[in-house]
Structure 1
Amino acid sequence: MSIVDHLLDPFAYAFMTRALWATLIASVVCALLSCWLVLIGWSLMGDAVSHAVLPGVVLAYIVGFPFAIGAVVFGFLAVAMIGAVRDGGRVKEDAAIGIVFTSLFALGLVLISVTPSQTDLNHIIFGNLLGVSASDLIQIAILGAIVAVILLLKRRDFTLYAFDPTHAFAIGLSPRLLGAVLLALLALTAVTALQVVGIVLVVAMLIIPGATAQMLTNRFTRMLVIAPATSALCGVIGLYVSYYQDTSPGGMVVLVQGILFLLVFLFSPTHGVISKRRRHREHALADAAAA
């Protein structure tokens, strides 16, 4: 079998074609948002919101509403509960986040266990990339387009909010509103990636691409290009590997992202650990020679 045959063989099946498109959309959208999450320092908040939307998604399924509605409602509910626990006692923010998101995630698990369903709702937790239907793909595309358009149209405001919320307020922007919009987009993005990797691994797709791009460049505008490009590439590679090695496609996509981050962490020309040590050694030798 030639290389071209290897490349085209998986997509002789309609479910693999849908899986590819779902992976690309989710990878790009998650990577775009991850740039701001990493910049603001919302990695733990991303973990909290992505897990806390689970009961909202299940309740939306029960009443027949779109998943996105339940996800956004519980995303904001989680943020409000975190603030209430943090401000109402001696509990620090990281502990408040852990308490709230694990409790809501547990509620989602309980709801799944008691909800009669013709479909396996455990796919919400672990993803069901190969089971993406045409209607699922349309929902993923619509939600992904909404998130991407808002992020790109308001990128300057979001970036200013991330770097200097005080200055953003001084020029007439509302940091509180910008933060709320980002949280709403985070909830929508979690729903977008549900079918690909599930609730458990969504946080990886929301953090790893931005962290990888940050290791490769010091300019935020370049991060917005590097993160989606590398994330999409990892998605395609992960899908191919899962097809030929018969592994979990969602897990493989995230694993490839993790491997890429490790390589960048070690060998990035500017911020890589090995590159820094080599430059330090070269400078030490140059100083010794000059002396």
Structure 2
Amino acid sequence: MEIFQYEFMRNAVIAAVLVNIACGIVGTYVVIKKIVFISGGISHAAFGGIGLGYFLGIPPIVAAIPFSLISAITIGLISKRSKLSEDAAIGIIWAVGMASGIIFINLTPGYAPDLFSYLFGNILTIPVSDLYIMFAMDLIIILIVALFFKEFYAISFDEEFSTVTGIPNRILYLVILCMVALSVVVLIRIVGIILVIALLTIPSSICRQFTYNMKKLIISSIVTGIILTITSLTDFKLDSILLYVIITPLGTAVVPEVKTIWAKSSEETDISGFSKGVMDDKRSSISSIIIDIRPGNFFSLPG
């Protein structure tokens, strides 16, 4: 296609693939464990890292990585080890992150930077350097899930029973939150801080209506996200894209595309009839996974 002759469009397509690999994997756990609100809190807290990056004169995305990881771990520790509720912890980190970002930006000498692309995203303005960061984040996420796939499966569907088998739920829960933080960093340049939850949850929510098999759910979520994101790009002609970049970030066009497919899939799926089969499949899958897990030996599960 003509539009792919331009470097910014090729970068956009590569970014769409990379970001949806992270979203498909992590979004599956976010949806199943019902921690969507936590994802929103981490994404808004990442704004503090972006502000810190501008203040220190380093790439904002690079600064957002440790800031997001610290925010994720803080939320996890506060919610599990203190009397403060999880919602309250999320709200505090959310507010502190946003406020910190504004403070750092105001303290930065010179002209105030344009933060519009970080708040709402713009997939067409992603530099090659950010693609390398996205690729690295994907590799880390894939490696973590490959190492602890069975443990994540167990704690996602039956946390209490997995505790009895000796799986360190709290540690693995923090690991999941850290993966969410890495995904947030990858997503910021695509859809922005404000719309991160959309790509992180909607593709997995669509695919979850058709399968509870974890591997199939992850793969289908990745494919669905890639198709919908690239479709939102190719729906525009080149002259329309250039005009769209000026008027509003194209990242916002991704969300309506994904939402429309989710609405159609919800209408066409017989939830009542499907749920029973899904639950039966889920119970049998959990049983087979739990059988392989032995107390104190969760790091060396049989393949």
- What is the TM-score when the length of structure 2 is the normalising length? 0.77
- Greater CA deviation, 152-161 or 57-66? 57-66
Give the number of aligned pairs.
263
Q: Tell me the CA shift for residue 114 of structure 1.
A: 4.2
Deviates more, 1:230-239 or 1:144-153: 144-153
Listed as ranges, the matches of 1:1-291 within 5 Å are 8-63=1-56, 64=58, 66-67=62-63, 68-80=65-77, 87-88=83-84, 92-116=85-109, 120-243=114-237, 245-246=240-241, 247=244, 248-268=249-269, 270-271=270-271
Please state how far the C-alpha of 1:169 moved relative to its aligned partner.
Answer: 2.6
1:226-261 CA-partner distances (Å, limit 9, x unpaired): 111111100110111245544432111122111110
Aligned residue for 1:147, secondary structure, equals helix
CA shift for structure 1 position 198: 1.0
Q: Could you list the runs of 5+ residues in structure 1 that have no partner in the other structure? A: 1-7, 277-291
Distance in 2 separating the partners of 1:49 and 1:12: 36
**One-letter code aligned to 2:119:** I
TM-score computed with the length of structure 1 as normaliser: 0.80
Match of 1:283 in 2: none
Cα shift at 1:122: 3.3
Given that 1:60 and 1:70 are in contact with CA atoms closer than 8 Å, whether structure 2 keeps it comes out as no
CA distance in 1, matches of 2:145, 2:12: 24
Change in Cα spacing, 1:272 to 1:102, as seen in structure 2 (3 Å) is: farther
**Corresponding residue number in structure 2 for 1:3:** none
Instruction: Name the counterpart of 1:5.
Output: none
- The percentage of counterpart residues that share the same residue type is 24
Relative to structure 1, the CA distance from residue 224 to residue 117 in structure 2 (aligned partners, 3 Å threshold; closer, same or farther) is farther
Residue 217 of structure 1 and its aligned partner are, at CA, apart by 1.9
Do the aligned partners of 1:29 and 1:144 also contact (CA within 8 Å) in 2?
yes
SS of residue in 2 equivalent to 1:217: coil
C-alpha contact 2:119 2:192 (8 A) present in aligned 1: yes
Residue type matched to 1:224 in 2? I
- Residue identity in the other structure for 1:264: S
Q: 1:252 to 1:116 in 2, by over 3 A?
A: farther
Gaps of 5+ in 2: 276-303
1:71 CA displacement = 2.2
Find the residue that maps to 2:209 and give its secondary structure.
helix
- What is the rounded CA distance, in whole Å, between the counterparts of 2:83 and 2:72 in structure 1? 19
Amino acid paired to 2:182 = L
> C-alpha distance in 2, partners of 1:179/1:160?
12
Partner AA of 1:40 in structure 2: K
Distance in 2, Cα, partners of 1:74 & 1:55: 10
Match for 1:30: what amino acid?
Answer: C
Q: What residue in structure 1 maps to residue 278 of structure 2? A: none
Partner of 1:285: none
Distance 1:75 1:216, change over 3 A: same
**Max Rg structure:** 1
